[in-house]
Chains A and B, each alone.
Chain A
Amino acid sequence: MNWAQILFNSAVTGSLYLISAVALTLVYGLARFPNFAHAEIMALGGFIGYFVAEQLGAPLPLAFVFAFAVSGLIGYLSYRGIFKPLADRGASLIHLMVASMALGFILRHSIGEIWGFSPLTFNIVWPAYDVGPLRISLNWLILIFTAVVVGVGLHLVLTKTKIGKAIRATASNPKLALSAGINTTRVLVITWFVSAGLAGIAGLFRGVETRLSPYLGWDILLPTFAVAVLGGIGSFYGAIVAAIIIGLAENIGVVLLSQAGLSTEYRMAIPFVILIVVLIFRPQGLAKAFKGN
């Protein structure tokens, strides 16, 4: 068993979950409902990247920029057009969840209408390197690097900048933040934009690594929820630690599954089992251990 490779693969999986879960948990903590359309926003990011890189032939970094921008715009529009009006009318948590699911359906089938439902693949061949027992592909390195940049970047934004402090204040007590003169609507707009943008990037990474389909986000959504819940909803630092844990659990779990002669399809069930166990024994997630505010 090549444990070095398994650890490295865990870092790759964890990095992907980190980007998508940090994005999800930012909005979850602020808007206080799980955005099920997160899955389709990830898929959208993948397809926008495909459009820019493959259909227009532009360089790949540009694809990431567009994936971030267009997904972010969709996030902004969905907040302005759907979730803010609903929240202003006093919609219940369940209604907000149903609305996010409805938005997901609109997005998924719009994507399906434009690009079709059959899987598409990127025509990029990545150089791979053999480092000792490890086989490392360049796109994995970029993914891990991006996850680190996202983690450190958001950490700096949340702790050092005015908007970061406003985000934390709004998440912990929206009414108090409002009365303290923070423009909470602006905070939410920015958070929705950044969250959806990061989701788009996560989706594009997934698309580059495997293949693109309108259902792409659905496969990452459940582990993403597991990471967000394990980390403690709304907790940015909890999500980082949880992403590493889930990444490890999934990759080690797959090895154990195949050794036990079970279908590796069950890898999707591993985050679910962790999710259930966490919810039973520690519904607040790991958040308490990391909460600085």
Chain B
Amino acid sequence: MDPILIYGINALVYIGIFAIVALSLNAEYGYTGLANFGKVAFFMIGAYSYALLVQAGVPWPVALALATLISSIFGLLVSLPAIRLREDYLAIVTLTFGEILRIFIKSEDWLANGVWGISIPPVFAAGNFTAGLWMNLALVFGLLAVCFVFMTLLANSPFGRIMRALREDQIAADAIGKNRITYKSQIFMIGSAMAGLGGALFANFVGYIAPESFLPIITFTIWMMVILGGPASNIGVIVGAAAVQLFERGTIILKDYVTLPIDPTNLQNILFGVIIITILMVRPSGLFKESKINTLGTRRAMRWLNPSSK
């Protein structure tokens, strides 16, 4: 198979995986305004659950579903103490949770081989590299499509309107009788489940995971995707995921063609920081505007308010 094609598919799979995780942060931060700075923790839970289950002989579709479920349960557990907190405390607690989880996996060798990491037996067309690549691509994009449709429906549902209400004015949301703690916990579960799904797909695709695959930079990258693409826009965060992934790869390829006086990985990370600060200053709403609520009711109301529009 053509190496360029392999590289292209590989990049697409990564884009798909991170688009799913970016969608999950969009549910939490974009729509609801929850600052989850420990995204990598749920990504990691999904990856490790999937890896351990497949190693234990569970069929991969079941492992994928269970990994998603396990991540959402962890999302609920973390949300119980954390979700009542102010935004800044929530950020600190979730960030710390990610770090502690990594220490836990590192220290407890019996669970997942500690720092040595574990490899995951290939589940697709064992031995056939090209077929496995295509299968992964199909699987990731199939699930991305499911997540996208789910998020679009969710954002336009009554639940989605409560999410936006919680983001804009919690006290008003309380006043109309919506229990914010319950809703926020549910959103945290949804977000963690999708992040876990992304992690499971990641583990399945790369075939080997270790604690060092889950550094805090992953959280930062996912935030960058959402902020660049546009919070509360599902299309936006997918475009953001693609842009960040391509940029990341671009700087790595660059080093083969251009001799830089600075290490490309360092340069890339410095540029990540510069880009995110620039976006926050120049265009805090991201590339894509927040998607409007689109239901039959809102369409009718708009026609009624504004008869000249189509």
Interaction A to B: yes
Q: Residues on A close to B: CB < 8 A?
A: 33-34, 36, 82, 85-86, 89, 91, 93-95, 97-99, 101-106, 108-110, 112-113, 218, 222, 225, 229, 262-263, 265-266, 268-269, 272, 275-276, 279-280, 283
Q: Assuming the A-B contacts A91-B280, A112-B266, A222-B96, are A265 and B103 also in contact, with contact meaning beta carbons closer than 8 angstroms in the complex?
A: yes
Residues in B whose Cβ lies below 8 Å from that of A266:
103, 107
Who on chain B is nearest to A96 by CB? Answer: B280
Chain A nearest CB, measured from B278 CB (Å): 9
Q: Is there an interface contact between B277 and A279, defined as CB atoms closer than 8 Å? A: no
Q: Is there an interface contact between A283 and B284, defined as CB atoms closer than 8 Å? A: no
Q: Is there an interface contact between B103 and A269, defined as CB atoms closer than 8 Å? A: yes
Q: Residues on B close to A: CB < 8 A?
A: 29, 33, 35, 37, 81-82, 85-89, 91-93, 95-97, 99-100, 103-104, 106-108, 216-217, 220, 223, 227, 262-263, 265-267, 269-270, 272-274, 276-277, 280-281, 284
Residues in A whose Cβ lies below 8 Å from that of B227:
98
Q: Assuming the A-B contacts A98-B227, A105-B269, are A283 and B89 also in contact, with contact meaning beta carbons closer than 8 angstroms in the complex?
A: yes
Who on chain B is nearest to A267 by CB? Answer: B103
Instruction: Show 9 A/B contacts (Cβ-Cβ < 8 Å), sorted by A.
Output: A82-B281, A85-B281, A91-B280, A93-B87, A97-B37, A103-B273, A109-B267, A272-B96, A280-B81
Q: For the complex, what is the distance from the CA of A101 to the CA of B88, rounded to whole Å? A: 13
Q: Is there an interface contact between A89 and B284, defined as CB atoms closer than 8 Å? A: yes
Residues in A whose Cβ lies below 8 Å from that of B103:
265-266, 268-269
Chain A nearest CB, measured from B75 CB (Å): 16
Q: Assuming the A-B contacts A94-B87, A112-B266, are A229 and B92 also in contact, with contact meaning beta carbons closer than 8 angstroms in the complex?
A: yes
Residues in A whose Cβ lies below 8 Å from that of B217:
105
Q: For the complex, what is the distance from the CA of A266 to the CA of B29, rounded to whole Å? A: 30
Q: Is there an interface contact between B107 and A94, defined as CB atoms closer than 8 Å? A: no
Chain A nearest CB, measured from B230 CB (Å): 14
Q: Assuming the A-B contacts A222-B99, A268-B100, are A109 and B269 also in contact, with contact meaning beta carbons closer than 8 angstroms in the complex?
A: yes
Who on chain B is nearest to A95 by CB? Answer: B280
Residues in A whose Cβ lies below 8 Å from that of B33:
94
Residues in B whose Cβ lies below 8 Å from that of A103:
273, 277
Chain A nearest CB, measured from B119 CB (Å): 23
Give chain A's interface secondary structure class: helix
Q: Assuming the A-B contacts A93-B87, A102-B273, A265-B106, are A225 and B92 also in contact, with contact meaning beta carbons closer than 8 angstroms in the complex?
A: yes
Chain B nearest CB, measured from A285 CB (Å): 10
Q: Is there an interface contact between A105 and B89, defined as CB atoms closer than 8 Å? A: no
Q: Is there an interface contact between A265 and B107, defined as CB atoms closer than 8 Å? A: yes
Interface residue from A106, A222, A268, A269 paired with B273 (Cβ < 8 Å): A106
Q: Is there an interface contact between B92 and A275, defined as CB atoms closer than 8 Å? A: yes
Q: Is there an interface contact between A113 and B88, defined as CB atoms closer than 8 Å? A: no
Q: Assuming the A-B contacts A89-B281, A105-B220, are A275 and B93 also in contact, with contact meaning beta carbons closer than 8 angstroms in the complex?
A: yes
Q: Is there an interface contact between A268 and B99, defined as CB atoms closer than 8 Å? A: yes
Q: Assuming the A-B contacts A105-B220, A106-B274, are A97 and B99 also in contact, with contact meaning beta carbons closer than 8 angstroms in the complex?
A: no
Q: Assuming the A-B contacts A94-B29, A280-B81, are A109 and B277 also in contact, with contact meaning beta carbons closer than 8 angstroms in the complex?
A: no
* Additional 7 contacts, C-beta under 8 A, given A105-B270, A106-B269, A106-B270: A112-B266, A113-B266, A218-B216, A272-B99, A275-B96, A279-B85, A283-B85
Q: Is there an interface contact between B277 and A99, defined as CB atoms closer than 8 Å? A: yes
Who on chain B is nearest to A273 by CB? Answer: B100
Q: Is there an interface contact between B273 and A86, defined as CB atoms closer than 8 Å? A: no
Who on chain A is nearest to B269 by CB? Answer: A109
